[in-house]
Structure formats: C-alpha cells, structure tokens
Amino acid sequence: MAGEATVSLLRVKGPVEAIAGTVTVPGDKSISHRALILGALARGRTPVSGLLTAEDCINTARALVQMGVEIDNLGQSSVVIDGVGLRGLRSPTGVLDLGNSGTGMRLLMGVVAGQDFAATLTGDESLRQRPMDRIAQPLGQMGIKVAGQGEQCLPPVTVWGGNPRPITYQTPMASAQVKSAVLLAGLNAPGTTTVIEPARSRDHTERMLAALGAQVSVDGLQVSVEGNPDLSGREMVVPGDFSSAAFLLVAALLIPGSEVTVGGILLNSTRTGLLEILGRMGAKLEVSNRRQATGEPVGDITARASQLSATQVGGEVIPRMLDEVPILALAATQAEGQTVIRDAEELRVKESDRLAATAQVLSALGATIQQQPDGLVIDGPTRLQGAEVDSFGDHRIAMMAVVAGLIAEGQSVVTNTQCISTSFPEFADLLRDLGARVDEK
C-alpha cells in the first residue's frame, strides 16, 4: 500500500506445499496512468476507483499536481480528479520526477507537447538509462522541440510545448507508450493524427479517449485521433492488473496440488498473450464471470497445478505479453522440452535488461537457459536449487525470482526487492494469504 515501508529482501524456503485461495490484485498499472492523465485533460470531475496505489502511478499523479491539477485522496485507490481541459495545465514548479515510471514519463512528454510551457522530466537511476528518442522523434516531426542526454535522448529530458501539427507516424516497434504519446500530443493538433504500428500493442489509450468523447478510429494496425476534442470527465473503474496476476497464476501452475483464483482481472486481448501461450503449453486455466468495466473486458481466472510442455513463442503475440516474458521463462524451466522465445529485444531497454536478468537469475537457480539477441532458449524440466539472487532493481525480475524460490529446493534469497512497490506492493502479503511462506527483511 502507499506509505508502507519498502522491503529490501525476501526469503523463501522451498519447495512449498500447495497454495490455494481466491484473491484480488491491485489495479492495472497501464490503465491507472491513463485514467490519471486523461482525467486531468478532461473538463469536469473524473472519479476513479480501483486505482493502483504503487509508486509509479503516484509519481504520475504528483507530476500532474505540479502542473496545476487537483486530485482528491492522492495516494488512495479511489480518487477524484478535477480536470483542467486540453490546454489547461500550468508550468510546473520545478522538475517533474517520475521515479521508475517509463510509462508516466513517455505519456507526459506527449501531454506537455501540447501545452504553452516547457517542462523537464527526470527519474531514478534506472529510468535515466531508458531511451526517450522513440518519443522525441515523432514529437520533432510534429514541430515540438525535445532535448535529452546523448544520442538516445536519455532523461532528464526537456519538452518545449507549443502547437503540435498532425502527422502520420509509423512506429519502428509495437509500443503502446510511443503510440499513446503521439496520440496525446495529437489532441492539441489541428486535424487528424495517425499512428501505424508493425504489430498490435495495448489499446487502453484509444479506448479511454473514446469513452471521454474523443473521435478515435481504428483500422487494423492504424489508430487515428481528431484534434481539439471536447473531453468530458466521467466515472472510471480500473480492473485488476493482469501482469501482477500472472505471478500468482504461474505459481499455482507450478506448485503441485495448487488452485488459485484471481478475481476482477483485465482480459483485454492486447494484454493476455500469456494466457494463450500457457494454454498451448497445457496449463489448466479457466476464465469465468466475464463482464465489462469502463469499456474494458474483465473476468476471474483460476489456475490449477499442471504438467507443461515446451513451445515456441514469437511474432505478434510478444507485444501482448512483453511484461510476462520473465515469468513465462520460469514456467518453461518446468516444461517438458525446449522453449524458444524470440522477437523480444524490446525487453533489453526496460527497468533492466530483462532478457539478461532473467537468464542470470534462473541460471543461478540451476536452470538451463541461454540468451539470444532477441530472446531466450530454455530447456526443461529442471529441478531448481535455492540460491541468493538480485532483482537488478526490476520489479518483474524480483517477483519472478520469488516465485522461482517457491518451487526450488532449499532456501532462496532475493535481494533489492524494494522495487516491487512500483507495481505490486501487496505481492508478498498475497502469497502468504495463499499459504506460501515468504519472509521479509
């Protein structure tokens, strides 16, 4: 929860006995960022419930407050945003610090592009190593000046807002962050702004813009928004984060005798590629109670202990499961045969080099895993052995390592786990609720 002390070390003694129960996970991180930002750009009040209260989203909210937006109950899961309109933000008092949030920084760069001021955005040591040239390039084509550090435009990065012009931009990679930044800048451009992607990426920005009154059109891999829409505030409900649920679901698949249900999870097809891959591997997964929440499909997912078989993963499914590659790699260590993951080079510029970090952590635990330039090759099944491993300051690597410790023989220690609070502060508590012993220090 927001305000809790962060945990720097998690200790697991495995293999644990069966885990079981029904839980809910925090709100979806991607949707939480967008609800805050679009609620700020709409006219009127936007009540948001189910908001993720982790550090990344709080940093986005604080940046909006610095630019003149009032947010009641900041830091809580239910907030009310008093929107200021498309060009109603104010010049911030100081640098905008987004902490570890690449989503917050990239989307806000698009927002600032359409304002009447300049703003400098920075972050923690990890975020300052993540390239922002992928945002600076299309914004430059829109006539907006952007300056960062070095050839890759690393943070701190300054955006000089103004009057962006509409463009048609073909992205070199499938990236919802790039697409969203361009569309957000296009809100203050006269005419039609279009983004064309090589593969489908998550579509929460398009859905939310349309719900608030923007004219959005989607044609295959092409998304367009008309400039100067009249966005009106409305109530929003944030569903549970599929990426967070994935750690609990895979734990249930890998621990004999387990059965875990995670309720109220986002089922947007641009996010659930992992479900398809695990199903192909023989996972016992069941989706029930399907429903809608603020235009997004939602349901409950039950996972039961399963015997898995290896598979090949690549192509269009990768953008729909990019954040889940580390936990998929762990599942592959327990699958019969050789699993190959390719087309995932984007993972090298996340909070860590996630391909390298995943390979190093699982190798330390005894897995047979090799890096490729764009992916991983994993042989299984392999009996893992407890070890001390580092998270590389990456929340998804930290949580993957803890789940690995649940099935490994002997004690595992995962260090540098305070990063988990950026997306899933309740992670260790929920594992304990399900019956796993995870000790904190």
* Residues 395-418 as b or e (16 or more Cβ within 10 Å = b): bbbbbbbbbbbbbbeeebbbbbbb
State the average pLDDT over residues 64-79: 97
Residue 2's pLDDT is: 38
Whether the predicted pLDDT of 358 surpasses 90: yes
261: its two tokens: 């249900």
Whether the predicted pLDDT of 428 surpasses 50: yes
192: its two tokens: 């039609």
Strand order in the sheet with 368-372: 312-313, 337-341, 375-380, 368-372
Residue 194: pLDDT band with limits 50, 70, 90: very high
State the average pLDDT over residues 387-394: 96
Q: What are phi and psi for residue 405, nearest 5 degrees?
A: -65, -25
Residue 352's pLDDT is: 82
Residue 154: pLDDT band with limits 50, 70, 90: very high
Residue 6: pLDDT band with limits 50, 70, 90: very low
Q: What is the Cα–Cα distance from 97 to 303, expressed in whole angstroms?
A: 38
Q: What is the Cα–Cα distance from 220 to 216, expressed in whole angstroms?
A: 13
220 CB-near residues (< 8 Å, 6+ apart): none
Nearest to residue 264, comparing CAs of 287, 283, 284, 285?
287
Whether the predicted pLDDT of 5 surpasses 80: no
Q: What is the Cα–Cα distance from 388 to 342, expressed in whole angstroms?
A: 28
Question: Please, how many CA atoms are within 13 Å of residue 67, restricted to the half-sphere of its CB?
Answer: 30
CATH architecture of 29-226: Alpha-beta prism (3.65)
Residue 93's pLDDT is: 87
Residue 7: pLDDT band with limits 50, 70, 90: low
Tens-place pLDDT, residues 289-320: 999 887 899 999 999 999 999 999 999 999 99
295: its two tokens: 């235009």
Stated pTM of the model:
0.87
Active centre residues (catalytic): 323
Host H or E run for residue 206: helix 204-211
Q: Which CATH class is domain 9-27+239-440?
A: alpha beta
Tens-place pLDDT, residues 29-68: 999 999 999 999 999 999 999 999 999 999 999 999 999 9
- Residue 37 DSSP label: H
State the average pLDDT over residues 346-353: 85
Task: Delimit the CATH 3.65.10.10 region(s) of the chain.
Answer: 9-27+239-440, 29-226
